[in-house]
Structure 1
Amino acid sequence: MKNTEEQFYAIVAPGFESACADELEKRLQVPMTIEHGGVSFHGKLRELYLANLWSRCASRIVVRLGHFSCRDFPTLYRKAVRLPWGRFLKPGTAIEVRVTCRQSRLNHSGRVAETISDAISKALGTPVPQQDMSFRQQILLRLDNDHCQISIDSSAERLHRRGYRQQMTPAPLRETLAAGCLLHCGWLGNSDFLDAMCGSGTLAIEAALIAGDLAPGRQRTFAFQQWPGYRENLWHTVLSEAERQQHNPSITITASDQDEQAIHAAKINAKAAGVDQWIQFEQCPYQQQHRSGTHGLWLSNPPYGERLHQIQTTPQLFQELNHHFDANFSGWQGVMILPHPLRRMPEPQLQFRNGGLPVALYPLHLT
């Protein structure tokens, strides 16, 4: 990829588009356009590198390669072969074409993928490798009402894979969703934070990354590093700038859980993330927690459904949490991630999906 202006698109879990747009606009200093399931923006290589390094709640950053109308396979091949594949693919690079079709004449996703692979081979002048490779460039193709949109993935593994998750507890919250919840609550690292049912520690770790202004992608690699136009010096400059922004948080971040194995997992993950020194770990039930300062956020993903060992419904659990919050957290904001919909519950702040299950952010209210 040459250092020319391109259109980029951050793929985001529905519900977190505004949070993603705000964080990217702050880091990249370019206008953002919010769409359902993502955020589009323009930029050059620097903006692409920054978006992958800094986005806390996007799942991928893709480059819009081309779009056109298409109703038959010869047209798909003819128009696809004209696209500038050589800017993103070295000859001999393995590919994976992911196709979605909706209300289009071309609805055989397998044949669509084969056609794109043939077009790439023709454009690059060499066959696309079929054997397993250590790196496969993802190409995303969407056919909607006979309109074809082709994008190149710049991220490789999804961006929630920060590189710090070493230990897991049942039904963990994905890192991008955890960060998205924090940002949606308006928490920017300038007040105390508590997760009193921390599990493997994802919420507390993401809170520490925000509070210390640590780039979430600093410990991983990306697909753009395999591209012909990858500029290693620019990438190292972006990394160095991010490192200089890091600082020690001046707040209290607490992660507690009554389960000993959960606390053990959270400590291991926090150490792998480089933030264990900023988190206070406590093994205790949430009933023993009290506010650590005059202002803060208590955000937890409590056990529910099969994760609840005791005989207790989710509304009952919420009522008990609300009672404890009212009595001990004056001046704080409290939010719980719980299944949605639920009867006899307040209106949720945000609805989204976690592990395929519909959930929502439910506020705790001081009475």
Structure 2
Amino acid sequence: MNYELIATTTFGIEAITSAELKALGYENLKSDNGKITFEGDEMDIAICNTWLRTADRVLIKVAEFKAESFEELFQGTLAVNWSSIIPENGVMHVVGKSIKSKLYSVPDCQSIVKKAVVQSMKNTYNKEWFEENGPVYKIEVAILKDIVTLTIDTTGPGLHKRGYRELAGAAPLKETLAAALVLISKWDPSRVLADLFCGSGTIPIEAALIGKNIAPGLKRRFICEDWPTMNKELWQQVREGAEKSIKDIDFTIYASDIDGRVLKTARENAQKAGVMKYISFQKLPMKEFSSKKKYGVLISNPPYGERLGEAEEVVQIYNDLGELYRKLDAWSFYVLTSHPEFQKYFKQKADKNRKLYNGRIQCYYYQYIHQIPNRK
């Protein structure tokens, strides 16, 4: 069965997720704020959940219509053939959001949609009551400027839940955003990579998964695998294909931090992710890092100075980072921070910068790029 699918993503990395989808062979992509829409079947749902590194989740779009009243919302939802996806005993969990719309009460919208879905199911199955003791179907009603989009989530816990990070530092970077930082840098394993503020290890682990071509969703399950419409053999095929796609390649990523406790967590996370042998963890102040290799890549998410009393310390970190950049021969630096004056303290204007969101914090990804000669 063919579906209209939506890969949701963090604001600012839509182009990166689109590039991932193109690399997986998808065409006719429609990109919007925080989402990319495309077509696919059950196999594509399995492929995208298993392989997408920067998307938040994969949704099935079931309807889109205008609604300025609860009656219009009810009728628009009722018009959907919900039983083509949801079985008699499906658990129907409705979530919602509303932005700049006449129907602004999200709980009321959720209630109306649930009633309409149940009525549609009654019409199909000729039953008055449903047990709802089977697989889970999370339905989202999203209303933007009176346009309703109804979707069903195929992912379950977000795609950033790779399964390797039960433990994290004080301000963890999401795995999906960390993967985006690596993909934006265009790093490949022929170059040295370092993260000198590695925390719980998310950036180096995601880089190692990319370097080895390990599918990020390989070691986890997805909510739609329990649906009767999903062919279990398809999922097995996708996982077997992902196993065969892992590259037989060796490289070393340098990951350091000044906090020994958080480094212990990083090592445990790398072990769980199966990439421990590709990452060299070290307790080391950033300014003591050195390398004789040329054209290396530094990708880091240093402190932002958000906490009280950190301001001076953070200015010094950015100063030292700028000094290190000028010492390392032809290295490229990629730094994510929310600090408005990063470039002033780094003492150099970035070649590029990109607005990204780390959780709810607006950040910029400052990019200082050295191309390898004879390489585009």
Contact 1:192 1:292 in 2 (8 A): no
Alignment RMSD, CA only? 2.3
Equivalent position of 1:111 in the other structure? 108
C-alpha separation in 2, matches of 1:65 and 1:189: 41
C-alpha separation in 2, matches of 1:259 and 1:134: 46
C-alpha separation in 2, matches of 1:223 and 1:251: 34
Equivalent position of 1:244 in the other structure? 244
Deviations 1:15-66 (A, max 9, x none): 1011111111111343422222121111222222111111101101111101
| Deviation of 1:74 (Å) | 2.5
Equivalent position of 2:199 in the other structure? 199
**Superposition pairs of residues 1-367 of structure 1, within 5 angstroms:** 4-125=1-122, 127=129, 136-291=136-291, 293-305=293-305, 312-327=312-327, 329-342=328-341, 344=344, 346-347=349-350, 349-364=353-368
C-alpha separation in 2, matches of 1:264 and 1:316: 26
Deviations 1:123-171 (A, max 9, x none): 22364668xx796422121222322111111111111011110221110
Partner AA of 1:139 in structure 2: I
In the superposition, the TM-score normalised over structure 1's length comes to 0.91
Contact 1:120 1:128 in 2 (8 A): no
Contact 2:160 2:174 in 1 (8 A): yes
C-alpha separation in 2, matches of 1:258 and 1:241: 40
| Deviation of 1:221 (Å) | 1.2
Percent of matched pairs sharing the same residue: 27
- Mark the runs of 5 or more structure 1 residues left unpaired by the alignment: none
Partner AA of 1:65 in structure 2: V
Contact 1:322 1:364 in 2 (8 A): no
| Deviation of 1:292 (Å) | 6.2
| Deviation of 1:313 (Å) | 4.6
Partner AA of 2:361 in structure 1: L
Query: Given the superposition, is the C-alpha separation of residues 267 and 135 from structure 1 closer, same or farther in structure 2, using an over 3 Å criterion?
Result: farther
Deviations 1:242-268 (A, max 9, x none): 100102433221111121112101000
| Deviation of 1:191 (Å) | 2.1
Contact 2:140 2:150 in 1 (8 A): yes
Query: Given the superposition, is the C-alpha separation of residues 103 and 113 from structure 1 closer, same or farther in structure 2, using an over 3 Å criterion?
Result: same
Query: Given the superposition, is the C-alpha separation of residues 172 and 128 from structure 1 closer, same or farther in structure 2, using an over 3 Å criterion?
Result: farther
SS at match of 1:305: coil
Partner AA of 1:23 in structure 2: E
Partner AA of 1:301 in structure 2: N
SS at match of 2:216: coil
Partner AA of 2:13 in structure 1: F
SS at match of 2:312: coil
Query: Given the superposition, is the C-alpha separation of residues 147 and 311 from structure 1 closer, same or farther in structure 2, using an over 3 Å criterion?
Result: closer
Contact 1:252 1:292 in 2 (8 A): no
C-alpha separation in 2, matches of 1:359 and 1:134: 42
| Deviation of 1:188 (Å) | 4.1
Query: Given the superposition, is the C-alpha separation of residues 31 and 145 from structure 1 closer, same or farther in structure 2, using an over 3 Å criterion?
Result: closer
Q: Which moved more, 1:68-77 or 1:351-360?
A: 68-77
Partner AA of 2:34 in structure 1: G
- Mark the runs of 5 or more structure 2 residues left unpaired by the alignment: 371-376
| Deviation of 1:310 (Å) | 6.6
Partner AA of 1:354 in structure 2: N
Partner AA of 2:207 in structure 1: A
Query: Given the superposition, is the C-alpha separation of residues 183 and 145 from structure 1 closer, same or farther in structure 2, using an over 3 Å criterion?
Result: same
In the superposition, the TM-score normalised over structure 2's length comes to 0.89
Deviations 1:319-367 (A, max 9, x none): 210101211x21221111111422626356111121321211123578x
Query: Given the superposition, is the C-alpha separation of residues 248 and 282 from structure 1 closer, same or farther in structure 2, using an over 3 Å criterion?
Result: farther
| Deviation of 1:80 (Å) | 1.1
C-alpha separation in 2, matches of 1:135 and 1:309: 49
